[in-house]
Chains A and B, each alone.
Chain A
Amino acid sequence: MVMVMVGEGVGFQDLPEGCIANVVSLTIPRDACSLALVSSTFRSAAESDSVWDRFLPSDYNDIVSQSTSFSCRSKKQLYLSLCENPILVDDGKKSFQLDKAYGKKCYMLSPRMLSIV
């Protein structure tokens, strides 16, 4: 664990938005939402597409293309939409959504997918 001593006159207030975005993208979605409250620069960084693109699953394009009802202005909106509105995938045999805090994939199987062996 690296320990950094915090002192007076720290220059971090000049941190470019891109650098803040890189730090935020290393956290989890829940932390990114709270970091957006730190300052207007943090909000801009924390809500950028570059951050939320990293929180979305790598195959989100394939998943989203199976639903016709998606049009989101930003990657954050897309993320929140996938958390709040499950979509049917795999020819309606499964529903998919994201866990809001951590971005984990959640699948629900339809009864047709289950069989007793």
Chain B
Amino acid sequence: MELLCIRQWISGLLPTWLSAWCIKPVGGALVRQEPEYILLALMGSPLKKIMLCSSEKEIFSVEEQVMVQHSVIINNMIEDGSYNHEESKIPLDCVDSKTLKKVIDYCTHHTHHHNDNQEDLEAWDAQFLNVDSNGLYDLLMAANYLEIRNLLDLIYGTIKNMIKGKKIDEIRRIFNIKDHGFTPEEEEQNRKEYPHFY
């Protein structure tokens, strides 16, 4: 019986007042935990894990609920049954081990700390994105591939802040754009028409 079915079955049996009583310590704070997970833990049933395989063939085991909550791609694979828990690993050929580990950290933190206050989450996100631009690029490509909306929005916002108010020549340096793709005539015309942007 799949985890989702077990959860729904248990949810149907529980009285609604029980939710208020289901709290557990997570990272030093008391967090409300879905009662069905507590019951599963009490029954000795481990949370289901899935295997993700990086481009360097390194396997990462991660809680299914963590990835399903964040990655549309992985959620779809689990829901449509194309992922077999006993045999499969999900190959992520365009994500290297270092980046995949960071993506898993992000998803895991946001699942387990979703009740934290906004300031703490933002501080954690800021620390998480304290990387060089190569690292940021790799995270963006991974989040784009796995369709992790909140991570994508976080990275887009960061990139926007990197270029806000900057001149064209500086933006080209930030993005390492050596060939802008304009003809010399176009570039000259642009510089003449909008000198204040350069």
A residues apposed to B, CB below 8 Å: 1-16, 19, 22-23, 26-27, 31, 34-35, 37-41
Contacts and interface: CB of A to CB of B under 8 A. Distances in A.
B136 A4 contact: yes
Contacts of B158: 2, 4
Contacts of B159: 23
Given A7-B134, A31-B164, A12 B174 contact: yes
A47 B136 CA distance: 25
Interface of B: 125-126, 129-134, 136-138, 140, 144, 152, 156-164, 168, 171-182, 190, 194, 197-198
B137 A2 contact: no
B134 A9 contact: yes
A12 B176 contact: yes
Q: Closest 8 A-B residue pairs measured CB to CB?
A: A40-B181, A12-B175, A11-B137, A39-B180, A10-B176, A10-B133, A34-B197, A26-B160
B3 to A, nearest CB: 33
Nearest to B136: A4
Contacts of A35: 163, 171
A27 B194 contact: no
B163 to A, nearest CB: 7
Which of B131, B140, B157 is most buried by chain A, counting CB atoms within 10 A of its CB?
B140
B133 A5 contact: yes
Contact of A5 (B132, B137, B190): B132
A1 B80 CA distance: 40
> Secondary structure of the B side of the interface?
helix
A8 B131 CA distance: 14
A23 B126 contact: no
Contact of A11 (B125, B138, B144, B172): B138
11 contacts: A2-B125, A2-B161, A5-B133, A6-B174, A10-B175, A11-B138, A15-B140, A19-B144, A23-B163, A34-B168, A37-B168
B194 A22 contact: no
Contacts of A26: 156-157, 160
Contacts of B172: 38-39
A38 B171 contact: yes
A26 B162 CA distance: 12
Contact of A3 (B130, B140, B168, B181): B130
A35 B172 CA distance: 10
Contacts of B152: 22
A47 to B, nearest CB: 14
B159 to A, nearest CB: 5
